[in-house]
Structure 1
Amino acid sequence: MSEQIDPPAQEGGDRFWRFGPIFAAAWLIYLAYPIGEVLAKPSWFARVAGLTLVIGFALLFLGTFWAFRRGHRHDRPMSSALAWGSLTAMLAITALLSLMLGTTAFGLTIYIAVIAVMILPSVQSVTLVAAMLASVELLPRFVPDWEPDSFFGFQLIVSALAAWGITQIFRRNHELAEARQQLADLAVVAERERMGRDVHDILGHSLTVITVKAELAGRLIDLDPARAAVEIAQVEALAREALGDVRSTVSGARRVDIAVELGNARSALDAAGIGADLPADADDVPLRNRELFGWALREGVTNVIRHSGAQRCFVALDPTSIVVSDDGRGMATDAYSGGNGLRGLGERVKAANGTLVLGCGESGGFRVEVMSQ
C-alpha cells in the first residue's frame, strides 16, 4: 500500500523549476541594450569581441541556472566551487564589457545578483550584491567619461529582493511537498500497524476457540461420536468465519461490535468449560463505545481461556465501561501487559482517549477494565 502526492499539488511547487529555463531565457532580452552598443562600435574586432562576450555571458547565466535547477530537483545542491566559478566568470565578462561600453554593461550585474541569490548561502549572496551595488554607484564617479546613474543600483536591489522572495517561496513549497509525502508514509505505517493488530486479535481469539473445540471433539470421539461430529462441524465453521474475518479486516470492511462479541464470548467460554456470567445484551452501550468494548471483551475472554485456568468468567458492562474478570489463578500484571493482545488493546484505548486498567479481580483472578467517555 502506498500513497503519492496528487500531481496537481506537486506541480504547483515544481512549476517554476520545470519552466525555469524558459523564464530565465526570456529575461535575456534585456541584453539587447549592450548588444546594440557593441554593434555600434566602428571596429569589426570590437564588434566580434563584444558579441562573443555577451553571448558567453548569456550561456553562463543559463548554464548556471540549469545546473542549480537540476541539483534542486534531485536534492543535490550545487557545489560552492561551481557556483563561485560561474559567478566569477560572469563578473569578469561584465568587467571587460564595462571597459568597452562603460556603464551600459552594468545591466549585467542584475543577472549576476539574481543567480547569486539563488545559488549562494545568504551571507555570501548579500555580500556579493552589496559589493556590486557599491561598484555601480561609486565607479562612475571616479572613472572619466562614465556618468553616474542610480537606476542601476535601484534595479540591482529590487532584482535581488525579488529573486530571494521567489526562491524562498518555491523552496518552502518543496519542503511542504516533502512533508506531505512523509505524512503519507506515516499514514501507511499506521495502517499496517492497525491491520497487523486487528489480524492478531482476530486470529488469537478464533484460533483459541478452535483449539478448545478441537480438544473437546478429540475427547468425545469415542464417548459420544455424534457430539464429536457436532464439535468438528463447529470447528470447520469457526475456521471459515476466521478466514472471512481476516479478509474483511484486510479490506477494511470488518467492524467489531459488543453485541456480537457477547454471543461469541458465551460460545467460546462454554466450549472451554468455563462458566459465563455475561450481560444479557449491550443495548445501553452508545455507538461510540461499541467497537472499543467489543475488542476489550474479545481480548479479555481470550486471555481467560488461554491463561487463567478459571472456572468462571465475569463481565460487567455499562455505557462508559466494561470489566472482564475471572476466578482463576491470576497472573502478574507485567506478564499480561507484555502480551501483544493487551498491548494492542492499550493502543486502541489510547486512540479512543479511554483508560485501560489491569489488575486483580475480586474473585482472585485477573481483571481487565476499559473506561471511555
Structure 2
Amino acid sequence: MSTTTEDRETGTPRHTTVGWPPRNRRELLVKSLWIGVWLVFLSSPVEDLVSGRHSTGATVAGSAGLAVFVGVYLTLVFRNIGRPFSPRVVLVLGGVLGVLAPVLAVTLGSAWLGLFVYLSVAWGATLPLRAAYWAIPASALVMYLIGLRSDEAEARGLVVLVLLIGFAMSGVGQLVRTTIELRKARATVAQLAANEERLRLARDLHDLLGHSLSLITLKSELAGRMLPGHPDQAARQVADIEQVSRQALVDVREAVTGYRRPRLAAELAGAQVALTAAGVRAEVPAEPDLAGVPEEAESALAWALREAVTNVVRHSGADRCAVELSRRQTLDGPMLELRVEDDGAGGSGKGPGNGLTGLTERLQKAGGVLEAGRVRHGFRLVARVPTADRRT
C-alpha cells in the first residue's frame, strides 16, 4: 500500500491506492502482489490436503472449508478497505472466519493453525480499535490452546506472529479510515471555499455594478422623458450614461483581472500536490517570502511555476523535481528567483515551445527574465522578478 495523494484540480486520488480499489493494470498488479504475499500461510493447509493423510470426505470438506475461508477473508479485508461494509456485514463475515479457523484446525490438525493469522489480520483491519484489542489476543489464545493438542512448538511460534500481524493491521486499518475521513474533510473544505468565493464574487459584482446600473436606469428614464421637449438635456443625459457605462466596464475588467491572477503561495501548494500525484518526488518550499514583490511580478512567477510543473508532469518522465525560491542581488537590482529543476528528459529539444515563449513575454512585462534549458541530469527553469516596483 502507498500513500494517498490527490489530483491538483479535482482533489481526487490519481496515483496511489490507500483506501481505493485499483483503477488501472499497474495498481491491480501491485495490489495482487501484496495479496499474494499474505497467502503464503496457506501452503501448510494445501500440503495437508494433497498429502493423502485424510479420508476422501475429510479432504473434500477441508477443501470446501478452505475455499470459503479464503473467499470470505479476501472479501472482508481487501474489499472493505476500499468500500467499507456496514458494521453488521463485518461482524457476520468476521464471525464466519472465527468459526471456520478453529473448526478446521481442530478437525484437520496443526497444519491449519496458520488460518489464525488470517483471522487476526481480518479482525485487525476491519474491527474498531477497542474491539480489535480484545479479538486479536483472543484469537491467539484459542490458536495456542488448539495447538497444545497436536504441536505445541508450532503454536507457541505462531502466537507472536498472530499478535504482531493483527495489531499491525489494526494500525493499517486505522490509517485507511483516517485517510478516508481526511479526504472527505478536504472535499468539504474545498466546497465551502468555493461557496465562499461565489459569495465574494457576488458581493463584489453587486458593489461594482449595483450603483452604476441604477444610475444608468435612472438617467435612461430621465432622458426618455426629456427627449420630446428638451433634446439638448436628453443628449447630456445620454452622454452621462455612456460615461457611467464605460467606467463600469473598466471596473469589471479590473475585478476579473484580479480574480484571474494566480498567487504564488497557491501555486506552490498546487505544485506539491500535482507532482506527488504524478509519482514525482517533490521538494517544494512551504511559505514564500513576498515582501516588496509587486503583484504583477508575483503573478508572473506563479505562471512560471505552473508552466514548469505542467511540463514536468506531462512531458519530462522525471522521478524528482526540486522547487527553490530565493532572493538574489543582481546587476539589475534585488530579484526574487524561482528555480525548478527535474531529473527528466526535458522537452522535445526543438526550441522553446509556446508556453515558454509566453512566459518570457509575461516576465518581461513584469521586469523579469526567464532562463530554461537542459542541464546535465535533467531540465532547469529559472525565473527572476524584481522585488521592488521599478515604476515607482
Is the pair's TM-score, using the shorter chain for normalization, greater than 0.5? yes
CA contact (8 A) 1:202 1:246 kept: yes
- 1:40 is matched with 51
TM-score (norm 1): 0.57
- 1:112 is matched with 119
CA contact (8 A) 1:38 1:47 kept: yes
1:63, 1:138 → 2: CA distance? 28
CA contact (8 A) 1:83 1:119 kept: yes
2:255, 2:191 → 1: CA distance? 21
User: Where does 1:219-298 land on structure 2 (aligned, <5 Å)?
Assistant: 225-242=231-248, 245-246=251-252, 249=255, 252=258
Is 1:162 aligned with 2:163? Answer: no
Equivalent residue letter for 1:191? E
| 1:129 corresponds to which of 131, 136, 150 | 136
Structure 1: runs of 5+ lacking an equivalent: 256-285, 289-373
- 1:87 is matched with 94
Equivalent residue letter for 1:152? L
Change beyond 3 A, Cα 1:16–1:155: farther
Is 1:78 aligned with 2:78? Answer: no
- 1:190 is matched with 196
Change beyond 3 A, Cα 1:129–1:14: closer
- 1:147 is matched with 152
CA contact (8 A) 1:14 1:170 kept: yes
Query: Is the partner of 2:114 in helix, strand or coil?
Result: helix
Query: Is the partner of 1:31 in helix, strand or coil?
Result: helix
- 2:330 is matched with none
CA contact (8 A) 2:105 2:111 kept: yes
- Comparing 181-190 with 238-247, greater Cα deviation is found at 238-247
CA contact (8 A) 1:110 1:156 kept: yes
Tell me how far 1:36 sits from its aligned partner.
0.6
The percent identity for this pair of structures is: 29
2:147, 2:13 → 1: CA distance? 51
- 2:69 is matched with 57
What does the per-residue CA deviation read over 1:307-337, in whole Å, with 9 as the maximum and x for residues that have no partner? Answer: xxxxxxxxxxxxxxxxxxxxxxxxxxxxxxx
User: Where does 1:356-371 land on structure 2 (aligned, <5 Å)?
Assistant: none
1:176, 1:122 → 2: CA distance? 18
Tell me how far 1:38 sits from its aligned partner.
2.1
Higher Cα radius of gyration: 1
Structure 2: runs of 5+ lacking an equivalent: 1-8, 262-291, 295-392
CA contact (8 A) 1:67 1:78 kept: no
Tell me how far 1:21 sits from its aligned partner.
6.3
CA contact (8 A) 1:117 1:125 kept: yes
CA contact (8 A) 1:38 1:50 kept: yes
Tell me how far 1:233 sits from its aligned partner.
2.2
What does the per-residue CA deviation read over 1:17-49, in whole Å, with 9 as the maximum and x for residues that have no partner? Answer: 765963335422320111112222333333333
1:221, 1:55 → 2: CA distance? 93
CA contact (8 A) 1:216 1:228 kept: yes
1:17, 1:157 → 2: CA distance? 29
Structure with higher RCO (Cα < 8 A, 6+ apart): 2
Query: Is the partner of 2:109 in helix, strand or coil?
Result: helix
Change beyond 3 A, Cα 1:214–1:166: same
Query: Is the partner of 1:8 in helix, strand or coil?
Result: coil
TM-score (norm 2): 0.54
What does the per-residue CA deviation read over 1:210-243, in whole Å, with 9 as the maximum and x for residues that have no partner? Answer: 3564576568657863343132122134235435
CA contact (8 A) 1:221 1:228 kept: yes
Query: Is the partner of 2:206 in helix, strand or coil?
Result: helix
Change beyond 3 A, Cα 1:221–1:31: same
Change beyond 3 A, Cα 1:157–1:254: closer
- 2:311 is matched with none
Equivalent residue letter for 1:79? P
2:194, 2:240 → 1: CA distance? 37
What is the aligned-residue RMSD (CA, Å)? Answer: 3.4
2:136, 2:100 → 1: CA distance? 17
- 1:357 is matched with none
Greater per-residue helix proportion: 1
Change beyond 3 A, Cα 1:204–1:32: same
CA contact (8 A) 2:144 2:152 kept: no
Change beyond 3 A, Cα 1:251–1:4: farther
